[in-house]
C-alpha cells in the first residue's frame, strides 16, 4: 500500500513539474510572439519612431541572447526550481512595468529586464522536465511541452491583436502576471528542487557582460545608422566599440576554464555551418515577422486582430508537422531537409511579399510554416549530432542563442535600410502624384516611422485620402523589399547547408 501511494505521488509530482514547465515557457514564448503585432499601435500611442520600436523588440532579445547560457549554468549550480522562480518573478514584475509605461525609455528598460527573466526561466523549464522524468519518459513529456507551448505561441498574436483592437496594447503585458501567479504557486508548493552535482563551478559573468555590451553596441550603431551617416561619430563609435568588446569576448572564452561558449566546438565545420544556417534563417524570419504587422496594419489597413490571425496557420503547421519532420533526419540525414526547408521558407517569404489579398497572405504563411516545419527538427538533430554526446546540452544552448542573435541583428540592420528606402519611396510617389504642398508636408510627417501619422486638420478630405494613399503605397513597396531580403537570407542558409553539412554525421561532427 505504501509503495502504491509512493508511486502515485511520484506520478502526480511529475505532472505538476510538467504543468509548471509549460506555464513558464508559455509566459516567455507568448510574450515574444505577441509583441510584434502590437508594435505599430505602441508606436502611434507613444508617438515614437521606428528606431524606438526596433529597441522594443531588441532590448528583450539582446538580454535573452546574452544571458541564455548563463541561465542554464546557474540552474545546474544553484537549483533549477530556485532559478526558475527567480526568472518568472523578474519576468512578471517587468511585464507590469511594461504595461504601465507612459514613455519609451521606461518601456525599453522594462523590456530588457523581461529578457533577463526569460533567459533564466526558458532553460530551467526544460531542465525541470529532464530532472523529474526518467530517460524513457522524457521524450513524451518534452513532446507535450513542445506542443502546448507551440499552440500558445500560435494563438497569442490573434488574442493579442483582439486585445489591442478592443482594449489596449498594455493588456498584452498585464496578462503575464496573471499567468505567473499559478506558475509560481505550483513551483513553490509542488515542484522539488534539483541541481547537477557534477556541474562546473562558477558562472562566466565576464563572458556574459562582454557579449551583452558587444552586441548592444553593435545593435545601437546599426539602428543609429537610420538617422545618421555611417561616418558620423554616433554610428562609428558604437560599431568600433562592439568590435573591441566582441574580440574581448572571444579572448575571455579562450582563457576561461568554464566558458559559457566553448569555442572549440566551432572547430567542427558542421557545427559552424549549422550555426551559420541558424543565424541567417532566423535572422530573416525575425526581420520578416517584425515588419509584417506594419505591412498588414499600416499599409493594407487590416485590423490588429486580422494581422495577428495570419500567424496562426504558420504555428499550427509548424506544431503539427514537427514530429513528422523529425523522421526525415532518420531516413535522409539532416543535409537534404536543411536544404529543402530554407529554400521553401525563402519561396514562402517571396510569396508573402507578392501577396495582395488576405487569403493569399494566409496561404503564404501556411507555406512558410511548412518550410520551417521541415527545418526545425532536423536542425535540432544536426546540432546534437555535430558534437560529442557530452556537449549536446551546451551545443543546443549555443544554437538557441545564435537564433536569437540573428533576429536581433537583422531587425537592427534592416530597420535602417528600410527607413532609407521608405524615404526614397515617399519622394518618388510624391513626384509621380504631383501632390500639392499641403499634402507633401503631411506625407513627410511619416518619414521617421512606419505608421500613418495624424494628418493636419486643414487638409481637405480628398487631400487626406491622397496623403494616406501615398504613405501606404510607399510603405508597402518598402516592406515588400524587406521580405525579399529576408527570403535571400533564408536562401543563403540553404546554401550554407549544401556547403558544410554532409549527408550523414557521427557525434564527433565528422561526415
Summarize pLDDT for 146-172 with one digit per residue, the tens: 667 777 777 888 889 999 999 999 999
Residues 362 and 503 in one domain: yes
Distance from C-alpha of 64 to C-alpha of 115, rounded to nearest angstrom = 5
Q: Cell numbers for 349, please give them.
A: 517569404
| Structural domain ending residue among the three candidates 199, 227, 242 | 199
DSSP state of 453: P
* 77 vs 355, higher pLDDT: 355
Q: What stretch of H or E contains 481?
A: helix 461-500
Is residue 322 one of the residues assigned to a domain?
A: yes
CB 97 within 8 Å of CB 106: yes
381 is a domain residue: yes
pLDDT at 327: 66
Q: Which of 199, 221, 236 is the last residue of a domain?
A: 199
Q: Are 221 and 114 in the same domain?
A: no
Q: DSSP E strands: which ranges in 27-155?
A: none
CA 217 to mean position of chain CA atoms: 19
pLDDT at 285: 95
Assign 355 to helix, strand or coil. coil
Q: Is the pLDDT of residue 361 over 90?
A: yes
When pLDDT is cut at 50, 70 and 90, the band that residue 251 belongs to is very high
pTM score of the predicted model: 0.87
Q: What percent of the chain has pLDDT over 90?
A: 47
pLDDT value, residue 116: 94
Does residue 263 sit within a domain?
no
Q: 102 and 70 in one domain?
A: yes
pLDDT tens column, 206-218 = 999 999 999 999 9
Same domain for 372 and 236:
no
Within this chain, do residues 186 and 249 fall inside the same structural domain, yes or no? no
Same domain (yes/no): 77, 151 = yes
For 1-31, the pLDDT digits (tens) are 444 445 565 667 788 988 998 899 888 888 8
Mean pLDDT of the chain: 86
Task: State residue 236's pLDDT score.
Answer: 93
Residue 262 in any domain: the answer is: no
One domain for residues 347 and 495: yes
Tell me if 102 is assigned to some domain.
yes
CA distance 494 to 510: 20
pLDDT at residue 427 in the model:
86
Residue with cell 565528422: 510
Span of 33-37, 116-120, 210-214, 290-294 with lowest mean pLDDT: 33-37
User: Which grid cell sits at 420?
Assistant: 532609407
236 lies in the same domain as 170: no
Classify residue 332: in a domain, yes or no.
yes
Confidence band for 195, pLDDT divided at 50, 70 and 90: confident
Contacts for 426-435: CB closer than 8 Å, 24+ residues apart: 426/470, 426/471, 426/474, 428/474, 429/470, 429/473, 429/474, 430/470, 433/466, 433/470, 435/466, 435/467, 435/470
Q: Identify the CA nearest to 196 among candidates 82, 70, 87, 79.
A: 79
**Residue 9 pLDDT:** 57
Range of the domain at 242: 205-257
Same-domain check for residues 162 and 63? yes
**CATH number (domain holding residue 67):** 1.20.1250.20
The answer to whether residues 330 and 444 belong to one domain is: yes
Residue 186 lies in a domain: yes
Quick: pLDDT tens for 367-394.
999 999 889 878 877 887 888 866 776 8
**Residue 80 in domain:** yes
Number of domains in the chain: 3
143 band by pLDDT with thresholds 50, 70 and 90: low
Decide if 91 contacts 176 (C-beta within 8 A). yes
**Residue 191 and residue 210 in one domain:** no
Give the pLDDT of residue 8.
62
Q: Are residues 289 and 231 in the same domain?
A: no
Amino acid at each position: 500500500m505504501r509503495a502504491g501511494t509512493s508511486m502515485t505521488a511520484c506520478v502526480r509530482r511529475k505532472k505538476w513539474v510538467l504543468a509548471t514547465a509549460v506555464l513558464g515557457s508559455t509566459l516567455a514564448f507568448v510574450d515574444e510572439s505577441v509583441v510584434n503585432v502590437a508594435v505599430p499601435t505602441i508606436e502611434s500611442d507613444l508617438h515614437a519612431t521606428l528606431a524606438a520600436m526596433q529597441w522594443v523588440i531588441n532590448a528583450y532579445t539582446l538580454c535573452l541572447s546574452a544571458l541564455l547560457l548563463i541561465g542554464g549554468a546557474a540552474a545546474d549550480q544553484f537549483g533549477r526550481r530556485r532559478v526558475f522562480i527567480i526568472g518568472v518573478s523578474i519576468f512578471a514584475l517587468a511585464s507590469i512595468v511594461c504595461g504601465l509605461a507612459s514613455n519609451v525609455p521606461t518601456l525599453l528598460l522594462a523590456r530588457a529586464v523581461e529578457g533577463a527573466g526569460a533567459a533564466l526561466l526558458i532553460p530551467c523549464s526544460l531542465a525541470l522536465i529532464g530532472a523529474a522524468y526518467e530517460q524513457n519518459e522524457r521524450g513524451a513529456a518534452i513532446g507535450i511541452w513542445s506542443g502546448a507551448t507551440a499552440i500558445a505561441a500560435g494563438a497569442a498574436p490573434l488574442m493579442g491583436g483582439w486585445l489591442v483592437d478592443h482594449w489596449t496594447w498594455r493588456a498584452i503585458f498585464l496578462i503575464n502576471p496573471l499567468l505567473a501567479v499559478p506558475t509560481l504557486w505550483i513551483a513553490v508548493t509542488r515542484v522539488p528542487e534539483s541541481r547537477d552535482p557534477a556541474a562546473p563551478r562558477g558562472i562566466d559573468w565576464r563572458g556574459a557582460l562582454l557579449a551583452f555590451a558587444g552586441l548592444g553596441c553593435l545593435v545601437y550603431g546599426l539602428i543609429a545608422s537610420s538617422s545618421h551617416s555611417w561616418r558620423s561619430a554616433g554610428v562609428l563609435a558604437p560599431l568600433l566599440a562592439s568590435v573591441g568588446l566582441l574580440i574581448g569576448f572571444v579572448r575571455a572564452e579562450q582563457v576561461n576554464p568554464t566558458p559559457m561558449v566553448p569555442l572549440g566546438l566551432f572547430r567542427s565545420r558542421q557545427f559552424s555551418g549549422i550555426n551559420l544556417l541558424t543565424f541567417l534563417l532566423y535572422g530573416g524570419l525575425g526581420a520578416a515577422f517584425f515588419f509584417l504587422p506594419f505591412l498588414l496594419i499600416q499599409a493594407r489597413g487590416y485590423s490588429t486582430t486580422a494581422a495577428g490571425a495570419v500567424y496562426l496557420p504558420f504555428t499550427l503547421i509548424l506544431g503539427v508537422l514537427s514530429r513528422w519532420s523529425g523522421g526525415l533526419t532518420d531516413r535522409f540525414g539532416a543535409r537534404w531537409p536543411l536544404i529543402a526547408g530554407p529554400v521553401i521558407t525563402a519561396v514562402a517569404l517571396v510569396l508573402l511579399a507578392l501577396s495582395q489579398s488576405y487569403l493569399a497572405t494566409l496561404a503564404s504563411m501556411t507555406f512558410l510554416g511548412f518550410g520551417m516545419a521541415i527545418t526545425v527538427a532536423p536542425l535540432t538533430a544536426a546540432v546534437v549530432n555535430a558534437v560529442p554526446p557530452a556537449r549536446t546540452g551546451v551545443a543546443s544552448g549555443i544554437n538557441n542563442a545564435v537564433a536569437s542573435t540573428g533576429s536581433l541583428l537583422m531587425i537592427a540592420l534592416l530597420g535602417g535600410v528600410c527607413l532609407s528606402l521608405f524615404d526614397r519611396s515617399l519622394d518618388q510617389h510624391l513626384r509621380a502624384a504631383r501632390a500639392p504642398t499641403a499634402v507633401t508636408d503631411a506625407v513627410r510627417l511619416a518619414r521617421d516611422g512606419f505608421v500613418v501619422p495624424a494628418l493636419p486638420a486643414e487638409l481637405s478630405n480628398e487631400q487626406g485620402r491622397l496623403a494616406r494613399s501615398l504613405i501606404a503605397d510607399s510603405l508597402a513597396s518598402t516592406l515588400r523589399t524587406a521580405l525579399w531580403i529576408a527570403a535571400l537570407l533564408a536562401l543563403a542558409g540553404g546554401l550554407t547547408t549544401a556547403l558544410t553539412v554532409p549527408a550523414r554525421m557521427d557525434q564527433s561532427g565528422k561526415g
